[in-house]
Every structure is written in structure tokens, then in C-alpha cells.
Amino acid sequence: MKKPQLATNLSENLEKLNVNREKASKLFADVIEKAVKKSKPDTTAVLETDLNNQLANQPAPLKIAVLGGGSFGTAMANLSSKNGCEVTLWVRDKRSVKSMQKTHINKKYLPDHKLDERLQFTHDLQAAVKGKDLIFVAVPSAAFRETLQKIAPFISAQAIVSLTKGMEKDTFALMSDVIADELPNVAFGVMSGPNLAKEIMNNMPSATVIASQSAALRLAVQKALHSAFFRVFASDDLIGVELGGALKNIYAIAMGMAAAYDIGENTKAMILTRALAEMSRFGVQAGANPLTFLGLSGVGDLYATCSSTLSRNYQIGNMLGRGMSLDQAIKKLGQTAEGINTIQQVNEKAMKAGIYMPITHALHDIIYEDKAPLGVALNLMEAGFRSDVEFVMPHQVQPTHN
């Protein structure tokens, strides 16, 4: 195809995209209006109505705060800013903020990417969140509760969306649980999926899932982030979506560790499918829909995280498989690998609840009880017989005919 024709096609596609955005904006207003009419006098309905009214009365563009200047938080802030939202990225370190204000580059996490010129930066938490429509929280799980506690005095009707994939240490609380604890009168959601930040920044086609009980919040997040290269799907299975994002980190560590031993494609496929079985077993016990794990936040995120050397959890596992200690691997990585904490939490919960999770138990034995990886792997292969598929649709055996 000739370059002039390519430019013409691109221009037409962008024009269609703008038209679709206008339609989405009208649809957003229609959904809000219908939701208000159908509201019920319970807490959930009140929150939904408040959010509907807030967003309906808020002229475009949406005002957004992203808390956390890591790679994914920065990527989402950049994406929503490019979509025309008024976005402020909050970063804890004052010097990093000054550097980004000057260069529009996150030198620590995304040094090869220039950020949108309209994106704002601050280290002032109050200034970041006050008066915003949506607040995306992208801090490590260990700092999640503390961050919410600090912004609580400045929260009025803002909606909170967790971008953090993990569990709180010692409490087994998911990030949605922490939000409900610290901000009980705020509408919230969680976002998860196969979202490697560098690929998103390189405009490689990607997709994610926003899960919330609030239809208005789901649509607002779609409006903020959906683009030609980044699709945003919706779900109301908040537990399933969030668990998918947290649990897959365990198996990324397993895959990275296995890769250190030059495993074959058969072994990789076995780890992935048995990991999916463990995730769905654990999820159902927690109240999730097992079919959610067949979506982007389940098998999608599992595949991406277990297949990419960009994954921090994969890198940690690979370093452990090559003989490094856990402390050495964490120090070399220089970032948070949520799977390390998740292994401890899920192993304990599964043992208490009697959930069959052999890969998780094996990783716990290797990392925390100093057992030999090869010996543990052999024990896994010698485990008893299991059904291939954990959850199947009801079916009848068809009669045979002569």
C-alpha cells in the first residue's frame, strides 16, 4: 500500500474513533440517567446515585488522579492524558517529580518514553486527589492502606480504582477489601489484565478489565482509558477479576524458576493449565465465578506474565532458579514483586481451607523452607490422579444408536 493511501486510511480511522467517543459519551449519560431512575434505598444504590450525579454534572474532560509513579501507574496516567482527561500523577519522591515536570520522562521506570505534555505531576497528595472524578491507586500492596488513610480527609464523592495486583501482608485482604475498610462510603472498582506497561507505552494492542458493582464507574473508566490500542472490557465479578490479577503472580514465579532449567514447551503448557486450575479452585472458594478465570484477568494475564521476561515476578523466579537467595533477587530487581508476598498468603489460606494448590505449596517449600527445586518438582509429578478440568457445564450422555 502506498504511503498517501495509508495516511488517508489512518485519518479516516481516527475520525471514526472520535465519532465513537462522542457516541460513548452520550451512552454514558443515558446509562447514568437510567441508573438514577432505578436507584434503590440501600447503601450501594446511594453510592451509585451519588457517582452518577457527580459524573453526569461534570463537564468533559474527566479529572483524574493516579497515585503511584511506577511503570503501570505512569502508563495509565499517560494513556488517560492522551485521551483528553485532566490527569495528575502523584509520586512520593519530590526530586522525581521535579525531574518529570522538567523532562516529561519517568527516568526510573520508563526512561525510553516521552510522556504526554498535558500530564501534570505532584508530590502533594491533597492537591492530587482533591476535586477529582476518578482516583487510580497504583502503589504496592504494602503501601495501599496507608495511602488510602492519607487521602481519606480529602475524599468527597471521588471514585477509587485499584490498579494494584496483590494482597495485604498478614491480613489476606484484597485491595478492594482495604478500600471498603478505609473508605466505606466511596464507589470503587479494580482493574486487571495482561498489561505490561512497556508494551502499552509502545502502542502494542492490549486490553484490560474494569470490575465494579457500579455501572457508572465501569463506563467512566472505559471512557478514560479506551483507545485505538487499548481496549477496556467490563465485569461485575470484582472478586474473580481481582484474584486473577493477584494469583497469577505466583505462577509467574514458578515459570521463571522453571525456565532457569531450560524446560520444554510441554512443561510450560502443563504449568499454565494446572496454574489455571489452582486459580479457579481458589477463586470459587472465595465466591468468584470460575468462568472469569477464562477471561483477560485470568488466563490472559496468566499467559502474559508467565511468558514475558518483562514480568517482575518471572524475573524473581528466574533468579531464584539460578541459585540466588530471595534477598539477593529482590535487591537486584529493585522493584516490588507482589508474588512473593502472595505465595505466603495463599499458601496459608489454602492449607486452612483445604484447597488443593500443589504448585503454590511447592513454591512455598522452595522459597521459605529451603527445599531443593528439582526434588519438589519430582514430587509434583508423582502426585495422585486428578480430573483435567475442574469446572464443567452440566451435560448429558447422548444415547447410542445402532
**Catalytic sites, residue numbers:** 248
How far apart are alpha carbons 221 and 211 in whole angstroms?
A: 10
- Map grid coordinates 513454591 to a residue: 363
* Joined grid coordinates for residue 306: 508467565
Place of cell 497528595: 125
- Interatomic CA distance for residues 231 and 225, integer angstroms: 8
Give the residue among 166, 297, 184 at the shortest CA–CA distance from 238: 297
SS3 71: helix
Residue 179 main-chain phi, psi, to 5 deg: -60, -45
* Nearest residue to 148 via CA among 209, 65, 210: 65
Q: Give 200's contacts (C-beta < 8 A, 6+ positions apart).
A: 75, 79, 206, 229, 230
- Answer for the pair 314, 262: CB distance below 8 angstroms, yes or no: no
Residues near 339 by beta carbon (within 8 Å), at least 6 away in sequence: 249, 250, 252, 253, 313, 316, 317
CA 71 to CA 165: how far, in whole Å? 13
Using CA of residue 154, residue 157, residue 162, residue 168, what is the dihedral sign? positive
Evaluate whether 361 touches 347 at the Cβ level (below 8 Å): yes
Neighbours of 359 (CB within 10 A): 20
d(CA 205, CA 291): 24
